Structure 1
Amino acid sequence: MAVTIVHVAAKAGVSPSTVSRVISNDSRISQKTSRKVRKVMEELGYHPNTLAKSLVTKTTNNIGIVLPRPADELFQNQFFSEIIRGIVTKAASCGYDVLMTTGASPMEEVKAVERLVQGRNVDGIVLLSSHKDDTNISFLREKKFPFVLVGRSEDYSDITSVDNDNIAAAYSITRHLIQLGHRRIGFVSGPMELTVSKDRFDGYTKALLEAGIAIQDHYVFEGTFTPESAAHIADQLVKLEDRPTAVITIDDVLAFGIIRSLWNNGLRVPEDCSVVGFNNTSLAEMCLPQISTVDIGTYQMGQSTVQALIQHIKGDGFEQARIIIAHQLIWRDSVRPPEQS
């Protein structure tokens, strides 16, 4: 015989309505009662009928994550793995499951978001990236559907977002390299349509101009977040007559690819070229030499994103806000002053 809510209530010594409220994470139920009921549910092997519950409460206890395109690149990048880990861990502790979606094209991505919203498959959505004229943000705002953006939107300053001060972080890195004596500093970006790429580039240029160093267009490269893209860029770098003495990349994966390709071309890191990454993934410590990078609190970003989204969903004193996670510069073996020529 299937275990029902009535069996749980009888063994826990509470009413069926109390069990129902525990399942719905009703704030009126004390933690002591909630723990007791959930323990009985586990002992009896009772699993709530989520479909029936959603029909009654108009909620799903699901959170949707919109993965950036292309998804195959995403799973090569530890930044996304770590932020998703933070999202999933926090969601689970709050009684939410996570659904992930993406699209092979901008149009397919928008359709995927529309399916989640219009089909009421989730209670709220996390956007893991932002673009100029972002259709997903426009759609979610129009529907007044709860969502939180990881990153910053250039077009919508009034939405809830969780981000770093990427301009300040890139500025700090560049300024430190200048203080070490570097004047020829390259910059390796992801797609410039991404706000994070633009912000980190702005921080780089701000520090150079402040130091009286002209921006050299042939020192700036746009790629994707893959080692292959970094290798292609490094091949171009080594052919320059006035090769940079330091290179800033906006991701550790790019930094790793640059270092590997420089070595393959007979150049030493950091003796011939210093290299800096971003995100402080485990790859930065495993690489030889270990990569200097920026710790942006990726796991914390994921947790803070879910916390803000659940407040948005429940309306618990929710206010639209930009949440800034502090960054920290991590200096390792891939950076040194330039050799005097």
Structure 2
Amino acid sequence: MAVTIKDVAKAAAVSPATVSRVIADNPRISEDTKRKVRETMKHLGYYPNFQARNLVIQKTQTIGIIMADSATLAFQNPFFPEVLRGISSRAHESQYGLYLSTGATTEEIYEEVISMTQGKRVDGIILLYSRIGDKIMEYLYNSNIPFSVVGRPDVHTESISYVDNDNVGNSYEVVNYLIGLGHQRIAYVGGGLEYVVSLDRLKGYRKAIEKEAISYDPELIVNQSISTGLEEQSVRRLMQLDQPPTAIVTHDDLIAYELISYLQDMKIDVPGDVSVLSFNNHSLSEHLKPPLSTVDISIYELGLHAAELVLEKIKDREAPVREVTVPSRLIERGSCRSL
């Protein structure tokens, strides 16, 4: 005979209404009560009929995850599985599932977002990027749909909940670190300037350079699409300058891997001839030869907080807007040397 909600209530010594509220993750129920009821449900083998419940409360118990590029391209970068791990962890606690965007182009992704929100397939959205003039973010904002952003929005900043690192400060720190090692010719290989993170890191780079009265040289700056990767031609142009860089900062570890491979093909030694420093601290970075110096931006925590922010808005449309800054730390390894 199937276990009922009344059986759970009796075994947990609470009311059936309390069990229902625990299933709904009602914030007015204490964590101790939630834990006791969930343990009882597990012990008795009780599984809520979410489909029937969702029809009543008009909820899907699903969060839409939107990537800047197609899923095929996105998952080539270790950032996305790790940020999804953080999102999944928090979503699972609230018994929410995830719905990943699958469009191959920006336009397809935009149409998919409209379809999944107007078709009531998700209760809220997490954007895994912040792009200048992004019409998906504008649509979500104007439609009053619960959503959060990984990255600082370029508009409506005080009206959108988001989680980010201090990208200006992080970039300033790494350039200042290289200057402290004696480097003056520091190149910056960043992502496309349509992304807020790229603009913020370039701002931090310039701030550190100008603070030390080092002349800003636009020839040392390379910006390219994050999804298409680093072009060998760009690396060759940098290293064939009359005064080539002695250090290079890259947008993320994946670009650093490509950069080091191109440098090796050019018989340029890292760090003997040029130091390399990056962002993200992917798991492979410490196993490179040489191990990559990088900034750990706490990717898992970015996902965790992004899920918390959208769940707050799903559960209470009047919940205050929040900005969460996740700490980062510079990890010194073997790819940088003192001059």
Fold shared by both chains (TM-score > 0.5): yes
Q: Which moved more, 1:329-338 or 1:208-217?
A: 208-217
Structure 1 counterpart of 2:21, one-letter code? R
Distance 1:245 1:227, change over 3 A: farther
1:177 aligns with 2:167: no
Deviation at 1:91, TM superposition (A): 1.3
Deviation at 1:233, TM superposition (A): 3.1
Distance 1:329 1:99, change over 3 A: same
2:38 and 2:280 map into 1 onto residues whose CA distance is 38
Deviation at 1:315, TM superposition (A): 2.3
2:318 and 2:154 map into 1 onto residues whose CA distance is 26
TM-score scaled to structure 2, two decimals? 0.90
- Alignment match, 1:260: 261
Runs in 1 of length 4+ with deviation above 6 angstroms?
none
Per-residue CA deviation, residues 108-159 of structure 1 (Å, 9 max, x unaligned), is 1111111221122222211111111111111111111111111011222111
- Alignment match, 2:297: 296
Q: Secondary structure at the match of 2:279?
A: coil
Structure 1 counterpart of 2:184, one-letter code? R
CA contact (8 A) 2:270 2:335 kept: yes
- Alignment match, 2:210: 209
Q: Secondary structure at the match of 1:282?
A: coil
- Alignment match, 1:91: 91
Distance 1:228 1:116, change over 3 A: closer
TM-score scaled to structure 1, two decimals? 0.90
Deviation at 1:291, TM superposition (A): 0.9
Deviation at 1:334, TM superposition (A): 0.6
Distance 1:228 1:153, change over 3 A: closer
Deviation at 1:40, TM superposition (A): 4.6
1:306 aligns with 2:302: no
Q: How many percent of aligned residue pairs carry the same amino acid?
A: 40
Distance 1:32 1:329, change over 3 A: closer
- In the TM superposition, 1:298-337 aligns within 5 A as 298-315=299-316, 318-337=319-338
Deviation at 1:201, TM superposition (A): 1.0
Q: Secondary structure at the match of 1:132?
A: coil
- Alignment match, 2:38: 38
Pairwise CA RMSD of aligned residues?
2.4
Q: Which runs of 5+ in 2 are unaligned?
A: none
1:51 and 1:232 map into 2 onto residues whose CA distance is 54
Structure 2 counterpart of 1:118, one-letter code? Q
CA contact (8 A) 1:253 1:283 kept: no
Q: Which moved more, 1:21-30 or 1:298-307?
A: 21-30
- Alignment match, 1:137: 137
Deviation at 1:258, TM superposition (A): 1.0
CA contact (8 A) 2:146 2:317 kept: no
1:120 and 1:156 map into 2 onto residues whose CA distance is 25
CA contact (8 A) 1:226 1:254 kept: no
Distance 1:238 1:31, change over 3 A: closer
2:39 and 2:171 map into 1 onto residues whose CA distance is 49
1:102 and 1:68 map into 2 onto residues whose CA distance is 11
Distance 1:170 1:35, change over 3 A: closer
- In the TM superposition, 1:17-36 aligns within 5 A as 17-31=17-31, 33-36=33-36
- Alignment match, 1:160: 161
1:204 and 1:224 map into 2 onto residues whose CA distance is 19
Deviation at 1:18, TM superposition (A): 4.0
1:217 and 1:29 map into 2 onto residues whose CA distance is 57
1:129 and 1:225 map into 2 onto residues whose CA distance is 12
Structure 2 counterpart of 1:92, one-letter code? H
2:301 and 2:13 map into 1 onto residues whose CA distance is 39
Q: Which runs of 5+ in 1 are unaligned?
A: none
CA contact (8 A) 1:73 1:225 kept: no
Distance 1:264 1:226, change over 3 A: farther
CA contact (8 A) 2:230 2:259 kept: no
- In the TM superposition, 1:102-113 aligns within 5 A as 102-113=102-113
- Alignment match, 2:53: 53
Q: Which moved more, 1:20-29 or 1:60-69?
A: 20-29
Distance 1:206 1:294, change over 3 A: same
CA contact (8 A) 2:191 2:224 kept: yes
